[in-house]
Structure 1
Amino acid sequence: MSDDTQFSELAAIKESRRLSSVWLVPIIALGIGLWFVYYQLSNQGPMITIAFENAEGLEAGKTKIKAREVDIGLVKNIKLNEDLSGVVITAQMSKEAEDMLTENTEFWIVTPRISLSGVSGMSTLLSGPYINMEPSLEGDPESDFIARIEPPVTPIGTPGLHITLNSNDEFAFEKGDAVVYKGLKVGEFEDIYFNLEERVVYYNVFIEAPYHRLITKNTRFWNVSGINFELGANGLEVQAGSVETLLTNGVTFGVPEGMSLGERITERDYFDIYADYQAASDQRYKRGVKFALMIEDTVRGLKVGAPVEYRGLVIGQVVEINPEFYSEQIILDEGYSIPVIIEIQPGRVQQPDTDEGVEFVKQQTLHWIDRGFRATLETGNLLTGALYVDVDIYPEMAPPETLENFMNIPVIPTIPEEFGQITEKMNQILNKVNQMPLDDIGKNANQMLKQFSDTASSFEATSNNADKVIIAEMSKTLAEVNRLLADYQQGSVTNTEINRTMKSVQQLLGDLQPLIKQLNRAPNSLVFPPAESTEVEPKGNQ
Structure 2
Amino acid sequence: MHDPTTNQPDGQTEPAQPRLIPAKRSRFSWIWILPIAAALVGASLVLRNWMLTGPRITISFDSAEGLAVDQTKLRYREVDVGTISDIQVSPDRKGVLVTAQLERDGSEFITQKDTRFWVVRPRLGLSGVSGLGTLLSGVYIGVDAPFEVNKKGEQLDFVGLESPPEVTSGRAGKRYVLTAPELGSLDLGSPLYYKGIQVGQVSSYELNEEGNGVRVQVFVDAPNDKFVTQGSRFWNVSGVNMSLDSTGFNVRTHSLVSALAGGLAFDQMEGEPTDVAQADSQYELFPTQERAMAEPDGPAVELRFHFHQSVRGLVPGSKVEFRGLELGQVYDVDLEFDFERKRFFALVKARIYPQRFGRLYERVVEARPDEKDPMSALFKPMVERGLRGQLRPASLITGQQYIALEFFDKAPEADFDENAKPLVVPVIAGDFDRLQEQVSDIVTKIAAIPFDQIGKNLQSGLTELGQVLKQLDKTTVPQLNGALKSMDAAVQKLGAMLDSDSSFNTSVDQTLSELKRSLRSLRDLSDTLQSQPSAVLRGRSPDVLPEPAP
TM-score range, shorter chain: 0.7 to 0.9
Of 98, 119, 138 in structure 1, the residue corresponding to residue 149 of structure 2 is: 138
Output the CA distance in 1 between the equivalents of 2:66 and 2:540.
Answer: 161
Per mean C-alpha deviation after superposition, the further-off stretch among 41-50 and 468-477 is 468-477
Output the CA distance in 2 between the equivalents of 1:129 and 1:8.
Answer: 89
Q: Map Cα deviations across residues 265-298 of structure 1 (whole Å, 9 max, x no partner).
A: 4232555544434555679434233333332332
Q: Which runs of 5+ in 2 are unaligned?
A: 1-15
Which residue is equivalent to 2:352? 344
1:233–1:386: 8 Å Cα contact kept in structure 2?
no
Structure 1 residues 403 and 460: alpha-carbon distance in aligned structure 2, compared to 1, 3 A threshold: same
SS of 2:355's equivalent in the other structure is helix
Q: Does the alignment pair 1:418 with 2:426? A: no
Output the CA distance in 2 between the equivalents of 1:154 and 1:215.
Answer: 18
Which residue is equivalent to 2:174? 161
| Aligned amino acid, residue 267 of structure 1 | A
The equivalences for 1:58-69 within 5 A come to 58-69=67-78
Of 315, 339, 357 in structure 2, the residue corresponding to residue 329 of structure 1 is: 339
Which residue is equivalent to 2:6? none
Which residue is equivalent to 1:313? 325
Per mean C-alpha deviation after superposition, the further-off stretch among 119-128 and 190-199 is 190-199
1:233–1:381: 8 Å Cα contact kept in structure 2?
no
1:233–1:306: 8 Å Cα contact kept in structure 2?
no
* Deviation at residue 158 of structure 1 after TM alignment: 0.9
Which residue is equivalent to 2:61? 52
Output the CA distance in 1 between the equivalents of 2:485 and 2:37.
Answer: 173
Of 262, 272, 291 in structure 2, the residue corresponding to residue 260 of structure 1 is: 272
Output the CA distance in 2 between the equivalents of 1:72 and 1:534.
Answer: 153
Structure 1 residues 445 and 263: alpha-carbon distance in aligned structure 2, compared to 1, 3 A threshold: farther
Output the CA distance in 1 between the equivalents of 2:142 and 2:248.
Answer: 53
Output the CA distance in 2 between the equivalents of 1:471 and 1:158.
Answer: 117
The equivalences for 1:276-295 within 5 A come to 276-278=288-290, 280=292, 284-295=296-307
Which residue is equivalent to 1:386? 400
Structure 1 residues 292 and 259: alpha-carbon distance in aligned structure 2, compared to 1, 3 A threshold: farther
Q: Does the alignment pair 1:149 with 2:149? A: no
Of 412, 423, 443 in structure 2, the residue corresponding to residue 430 of structure 1 is: 443
Q: Name the count of aligned residue pairs.
A: 512
2:182–2:214: 8 Å Cα contact kept in structure 1?
no
TM-score by length of 1: 0.77
The equivalences for 1:99-498 within 5 A come to 99-101=108-110, 102-136=112-146, 137-139=148-150, 140-165=153-178, 167-169=180-182, 171-193=184-206, 198=211, 200-216=213-229, 219-229=232-242, 238-254=251-267, 260-261=272-273, 264-271=276-283, 273-278=285-290, 280=292, 284-322=296-334, 328-329=338-339, 334-350=342-358, 351=361, 359-395=373-409, 397=411, 400=414, 402-404=415-417, 408-471=421-484, 473-474=486-487
Query: What RMSD, in angstroms, separates the aligned Cα atoms of the two structures?
Result: 4.7
Q: Map Cα deviations across residues 389-408 of structure 1 (whole Å, 9 max, x no partner).
A: 122233455765x5347964
Structure 1 residues 317 and 283: alpha-carbon distance in aligned structure 2, compared to 1, 3 A threshold: farther
Structure 1 residues 450 and 334: alpha-carbon distance in aligned structure 2, compared to 1, 3 A threshold: farther
| Aligned amino acid, residue 138 of structure 1 | V
SS of 2:158's equivalent in the other structure is strand
* Deviation at residue 25 of structure 1 after TM alignment: 5.9
Output the CA distance in 2 between the equivalents of 1:60 and 1:536.
Answer: 158
* Deviation at residue 485 of structure 1 after TM alignment: 9.6
SS of 2:105's equivalent in the other structure is helix
1:232–1:384: 8 Å Cα contact kept in structure 2?
no
1:233–1:388: 8 Å Cα contact kept in structure 2?
no
1:287–1:358: 8 Å Cα contact kept in structure 2?
no
2:74–2:140: 8 Å Cα contact kept in structure 1?
yes
| Aligned amino acid, residue 365 of structure 1 | F
* Deviation at residue 68 of structure 1 after TM alignment: 1.7
| Aligned amino acid, residue 387 of structure 1 | Q
Structure 1 residues 169 and 230: alpha-carbon distance in aligned structure 2, compared to 1, 3 A threshold: farther
Output the CA distance in 1 between the equivalents of 2:421 and 2:155.
Answer: 62
Structure 1 residues 338 and 42: alpha-carbon distance in aligned structure 2, compared to 1, 3 A threshold: closer
| Aligned amino acid, residue 406 of structure 2 | D
Q: Map Cα deviations across residues 169-200 of structure 1 (whole Å, 9 max, x no partner).
A: 48343322223334322322334545797265
| Aligned amino acid, residue 52 of structure 1 | F
Which residue is equivalent to 1:540? none
Output the CA distance in 2 between the equivalents of 1:56 and 1:309.
Answer: 59
* Deviation at residue 115 of structure 1 after TM alignment: 3.1
1:72–1:93: 8 Å Cα contact kept in structure 2?
yes
Output the CA distance in 2 between the equivalents of 1:173 and 1:529.
Answer: 124
Output the CA distance in 1 between the equivalents of 2:45 and 2:492.
Answer: 167
| Aligned amino acid, residue 448 of structure 2 | Q
| Aligned amino acid, residue 40 of structure 1 | N
Output the CA distance in 2 between the equivalents of 1:413 and 1:243.
Answer: 48
* Deviation at residue 168 of structure 1 after TM alignment: 4.5
* Deviation at residue 99 of structure 1 after TM alignment: 2.3
1:288–1:358: 8 Å Cα contact kept in structure 2?
no
* Deviation at residue 437 of structure 1 after TM alignment: 1.4
The equivalences for 1:483-522 within 5 A come to none
Q: Which runs of 5+ in 1 are unaligned?
A: 1-6, 538-542
Which residue is equivalent to 2:80? 71
| Aligned amino acid, residue 141 of structure 2 | I
| Aligned amino acid, residue 101 of structure 2 | Q
SS of 2:429's equivalent in the other structure is coil
SS of 2:465's equivalent in the other structure is helix
Output the CA distance in 1 between the equivalents of 2:303 and 2:380.
Answer: 10
Per mean C-alpha deviation after superposition, the further-off stretch among 143-152 and 196-205 is 196-205
| Aligned amino acid, residue 470 of structure 1 | A
| Aligned amino acid, residue 65 of structure 1 | L
Which residue is equivalent to 2:19? 10
Output the CA distance in 1 between the equivalents of 2:22 and 2:406.
Answer: 137
Structure 1 residues 155 and 423: alpha-carbon distance in aligned structure 2, compared to 1, 3 A threshold: same
